[in-house]
Amino acid sequence: MRALVIRRLFYMVPTMFAISLVAFLIIQLPPGNYLTTYIAELSARGQSVDQTQIRALEQRYGLDDPMFVQYLRWIGGIVLHGDFGQSFQYQRDVSDLIWDRVGISVALALATIVVSWGLAIPIGIYSAVRQHSLGDYVFTFLGFIGLATPNFMLALLFVWIAFAYFGESVGGIVSPEFADSAWNLGKILDVVSNLWAPVLIIGTAGTAVLIRVLRANLLDELRKPYVVTARAKGLPEWRVILKYPVRMALSPFISTIGWVLPTIVGGEVMVSIVLSLETTGPLLLQALRNQDMYLAGAFILVLGVLTLVGTLISDLLLAWWDPRIRHAQAEEA
């Protein structure tokens, strides 16, 4: 296990630099830059910018430098000083902008995971054990609806029903009285009280997928010879099911933990826009639309690094959870 961790950490270093290069190239691919977008917005409002001012802005932001110089300056600031640069649009440090929204994104992602797993595991076990029962058909039908319905459509429907029939507004995750206040116990409790709507909406599709995966895996495990042998020995049915088949069927849950960390930062962009949630997703979308290169590049870089870290964590947890994988890794080492 130790050799696996060291080897994976060694491979992660060049991979991170490759991700940083790809991230920088991606934000450079669209024609123009932040200044062209800014000038187009001024022209749309009937204003004009002279060439002297444009050149001054290019020198101020370093946009007149070659691409490799811009990349070295950007990655050098990150590695040596932890400086992700300054946002052109917001005129603030990129790290400050990201961290301002990470707290809500983390709370939303973790709450969604807890709810999704809390619903999917018992329902998936029931559907597998009671295959072809009425309950199995009901949960299968609801699962297909959850898979087929886009989350943003659920969000729109939810907002309309809440306002039309209950006179309630479910937009936003922080109440107006706490919008400008620092994080304290009152604000945390307010966020928790407003989390239920986006958690239910975002968790719908994820819960449906997990139910189908757990049901299929558990059905496959229940037909294996070791389960037949355990039943022949007279073990209680609940022990036969929960001791090993469920554990092996939950392996895909553990392996998908690697996707959780990028999800925390990326978030559900469309749902966040519909519900006016101040998460990291809409900020990333706005940065891409305005070609705010340092803000967009920082998001893409962080998503890539979190994917690497999350994959490593999920592999280690999977090796701890599933003895078959642990044994295979020990043989490889």
By C-alpha distance, which of 202, 208, 194, 169 is closest to 272? 202
The confidence score (pLDDT) of residue 325 equals 67
Q: Residue 233 corresponds to which amino acid?
A: K
Cα–Cα distance measured from residue 128 to residue 139, given in angstroms and rounded to the nearest whole number: 11
Q: Which residue has the tokens 């690497």?
A: 308
pLDDT of residue 142: 86
The pLDDT assigned to 122 comes to 92
Q: In this predicted structure, what is the pLDDT of residue 306?
A: 80
333, pLDDT greater than 60: no
For residue 122, what are its two tokens? 């018992």
- The CA-CA-CA angle for residues 69, 98, 63, to 5°, reads 25
Has this prediction a pTM greater than 0.85? no
Cβ atoms of 304 and 23 closer than 8 Å: yes
Structure tokens at 299: 């998001």
Task: Measure the CA angle with vertex 7, ends 4 and 12; round to 5°.
Answer: 120
* CATH of 97-332 among 1.10.3720.10, 1.50.10.10, 3.40.50.2300, 1.10.1380.10: 1.10.3720.10
> Distance (Å, rounded) from C-alpha 16 to C-alpha 206?
28
Mean pLDDT of 213-217: 90
At 227 the pLDDT is: 87
Coil/strand/helix, residue 165: helix
The whole-number average pLDDT for the span 310-323 is 80
Q: Is the pLDDT of residue 287 over 70?
A: yes
Percent of all residues in the chain with a pLDDT value above 90, rounded to a whole number? 5
* pLDDT tens track for 231-285: 888 888 888 888 888 888 888 778 777 776 666 555 577 888 888 888 888 888 8
Q: What is the pLDDT of residue 138?
A: 92
Place of tokens 């998460």: 279
Ranges of CATH 1.10.3720.10 domains, the chain: 97-332
Average the pLDDT over 223-233 and give the result: 87
Sorting pLDDT into bands at 50, 70 and 90, what band is 123? Answer: very high
Q: Is 86 helix (H, G, I), strand (E, B) or coil?
A: strand
Which range of 17-26, 130-139, 206-215 scores highest in mean pLDDT? It is 130-139
Half-sphere exposure of 35 (CA within 13 A, CB side): 15
Percent with pLDDT over 70 in the chain: 90
